[in-house]
Chains A and B, each alone.
Chain A
């Protein structure tokens, strides 16, 4: 049973370019969340997708966008890259839950290390 998989593992981009990161959730999970983790810091919530729609969003600019496909996989897109976008981008999945009472932990992939030069 595969866990959360992310691709690519490492990526180097130039300032101003655009990047797309990909995530396949754990089998049986339908909700995908994306996080940005700067070096030495905790993961910062970017957004969450469920039923192919963005359901929650953190304090990130519109340069950060995403998509969820019918098979629950997801993409994170970042436009007009800045040096400050250099970070580890983590994808996490979780199963369908009772929406009135959340009680399931996130399952994380090992991330994509993005370096912007």
Chain B
């Protein structure tokens, strides 16, 4: 079935460095993509989103890149901080006569002080 996958299950970075989390999606019909952050004991929290008619979107310290040609999504975090340690999920919203959001397996980000 259709799914959103991730290239790396874990990522460890030094505090202050930039982090890049990658994601592959398989449903070419998806037109809305979201990155979520999940901390222990909490629900996923929205970070940034992007529509399929865009290839880049920037927020505060975060940037999402979308490459529809190879069905690839990435999240870049600038100057990574200890508070960024969490599990990150990419998700795609599919229009199947209604809208449902499908999540990938997640990448755990460790930030070393």
Contact = CB atoms under 8 A, between A and B. Distances in A.
A53 B34 CA distance: 25
Interface string B57-87: 0000000000000000000000000000000
B102 interface: yes
Interface of A: 4, 33, 35, 41-45, 48, 50, 55-56, 58-59, 90, 92, 97, 99, 101-103, 105-111
B95 interface: yes
Contacts of A102: 31-32, 93, 95, 99
8 contacts: A41-B106, A42-B89, A43-B89, A58-B100, A59-B1, A105-B34, A110-B43, A111-B42
Interface residues of B, number: 28
Nearest to A108: B43
B29 to A, nearest CB: 12
Contacts of A55: 98
Nearest to B4: A42
Contact of A105 (B42, B46, B96, B102): B46
Contacts of B102: 45
Interface of B: 1, 4, 31-32, 34, 36, 41-46, 49, 51, 89, 93, 95-106
Given A105-B34, A108-B45, A42 B96 contact: no
Given A4-B43, A48-B99, A50-B98, 16 more contacts: A41-B106, A42-B89, A42-B103, A42-B104, A43-B44, A43-B89, A44-B103, A45-B100, A45-B102, A55-B98, A92-B43, A106-B46, A108-B36, A108-B43, A108-B44, A110-B42
Contacts of A35: 103
Among B43, B49, B102, residue most surrounded by chain A Cβ atoms (within 10 Å): B43
A110 B89 CA distance: 16
Given A42-B89, A102-B32, A48 B100 contact: yes
A97 B49 CA distance: 16
A90 B41 CA distance: 11
